[in-house]
Structures are given as C-alpha cells and as structure tokens.
Homo-oligomer: A and B are copies of this chain.
Amino acid sequence: MILLDGKKTSQELKEEIAAEVTAMRQQGQKVPHLAAVIVGNDGASLTYVSSKVRSCEQVGFESTLVRLPEDTTQEDLLKEVAALNANEAIDGYIVQLPLPAHLDEEEVLLAIDPKKDVDGFHPTNFGRMALELESFIPATPFGIMQLLERYKVDTSGKHAVVIGRSHIVGRPISILLSQKGDFANATVTVAHSRTKDLKALLNQADIIVSALGVPNFVKADMVKPGAVVIDVGITRVEDASRPKGYRIVGDVDFEQVAEKASYITPVPGGVGPMTIAMLLKNTLLARRRAQS
C-alpha cells in the first residue's frame, strides 16, 4: 500500500510555486495577488480564510483579506465584488462560503469575473472545464487529479466509482477522471443517495472517490483488493481528548481499508492539504493568463 501523501505533495507544490514567484520577482514581473472576502465572524470560516492568506505569504504572493460585517447587505457585497473585478492589482479572489443566511450566494458567485474565479465555482469555468477549454478547476477535484499525477497512478480504462454528485467535488471529479488524457481516461460511475446496492458497485471499483461526508462509511468489505481509495470526507467528530475538542474523520475506515488498497489518502493529510495548494496554483495561473 502506498500512501497518497497530500501533506508532502502540497508542500512540494508550494515550493514549486514559491520558486516560480521568486523568478517572477527577479524578472521584475508582477507577482500573483489573491484576495479573499469574508462576511461575518464564523469561526471555521475565519480559520480557513486565515490559512489561505498565510499560505499566500508562504509562497510569496501578495494577499488581501476583505472583512465585511455580518450585517453586510447584498448590494454592498456585490459592490465589493465589482470593485475586485475592476481592480487590476488583484489576479484572483474567493468569497468564503457559506455566506450569512440573508445573502444570496448564487448571485454573488455569478457576479465574480470568471477570469478571477480561482475557486472555479462560476458556471463559465465549470462549463469550460467540462468542454476541455482553459478554465479554473475547483481546488478539491484539482487536488485529487494532482495526487494521481504525482504518484503516477494508472487510471486509463480503470473503473472509478465516485460517491457523491456535489457541484464542487463529485460532479467535477467524475468529469475530469473520464476525460481524455494521462491520469484520466477512466470509466466513471457517479453514485449518490439514490444508488441501489452501493456495496456491489464499490466492489467492482478499481478507484473509489468518496465525497459523502459520513465518517468511516467505506469499510474493507466494500473495497476490491488493490483498489485506489481517495477519501474526500472531512467530518468533525467530537473528541474530548483533543485540544480543539474534535478530530477530523474521513469517509473511509482507514486502518481496515489500507490493508486492501494499492494507494490510499489518509484523513487528515490527504486531499485536504491539497486544496489550498491548488488555490495557490489557480492564482498563479490567473496571473500568467492576465499577463499573456
């Protein structure tokens, strides 16, 4: 069994990005600049956003954190988005989700200039990805594809079963895995809440991508010997023994399943750390595209 080590791989990626940024700076070029908008004071969201901003600093990006009060109106948020679209200093930006309940998330996401949409959530980017045009790929599926590529996992003609059909993980990863190209070309099945006999389906899978959000759902008896297992589940489970009072648990019963898998991502330290690295990668791409 080979561990698909997202912590190590994301570190390598960050080092590569940092080296590119150093070269850009040395050549007198503008370096990438990521902005993040956060509305309100949700603790988890603030943690995520701070972590993204800190990662920008690590790789030498410029970064801007736009903090708006909890009671920001839709109109004011849209004005902020329009200002970021117009601001040539900003190469890419994200609006941290979820937004407070009184705000219309969809309208906000649609207002983001697709060229600066480094989260890849805008329909234009989704469509461009699906139609194999230049786009921004959402961080989680992009991170999974990177892990497969860096570990040279053979996916061509393999049967991949993706559990989950969400817009930001299940749907895009199912498309990417079945497109033409290296570390793709898989035969892909999308399974979801209505799927009958998921166990029988998983037993046929050469590759399993689980994006269900149910802790320890995937057991050893659902997995074919030698399968590649990608665990996208990140559920907080109460744990009084931990300093934060919880621990992060994946969809996959890791200890059992690791014994059968050929490759497996741990949780934490698998797909999770890759997402911030891919956000940085998208921001670098945004800068490169803006200058070309």
Contacts and interface: CB of A to CB of B under 8 A. Distances in A.
A45 interface: no
Contacts of A165: 178-179
Interface stretch (A63-71, A128-136, A239-247, A253-261): A128-136
Interface in A166-212: 167, 171, 174-175, 178-179, 185-192, 194-196, 201
Nearest to A123: B127
Contacts of A156: 194
A125 interface: yes
Interface residues of A, number: 36
A126 interface: yes
How many copies of this chain does the complex contain? 2
A157 interface: yes
Interface string A100-140: 00000010000000000000001111111111110100000
Contacts of A167: 130-132
Nearest to A122: B127
B187 A187 contact: no
A187 B178 contact: no
Nearest to A158: B196
A22 to B, nearest CB: 34
A264 to B, nearest CB: 23
Nearest to A174: B190
Nearest to A201: B187
* Residue from A124, A125, A175, A187 having most chain B Cβ neighbours under 10 A: A187
Interface of A: 106, 122-133, 135, 156-157, 159, 165, 167, 171, 174-175, 178-179, 185-192, 194-196, 201
In the A-B complex, list the 7 residue pairs whose CB atoms are closest, starting with the nearest.
A127-B127, A123-B127, A126-B127, A189-B189, A187-B195, A123-B128, A157-B194
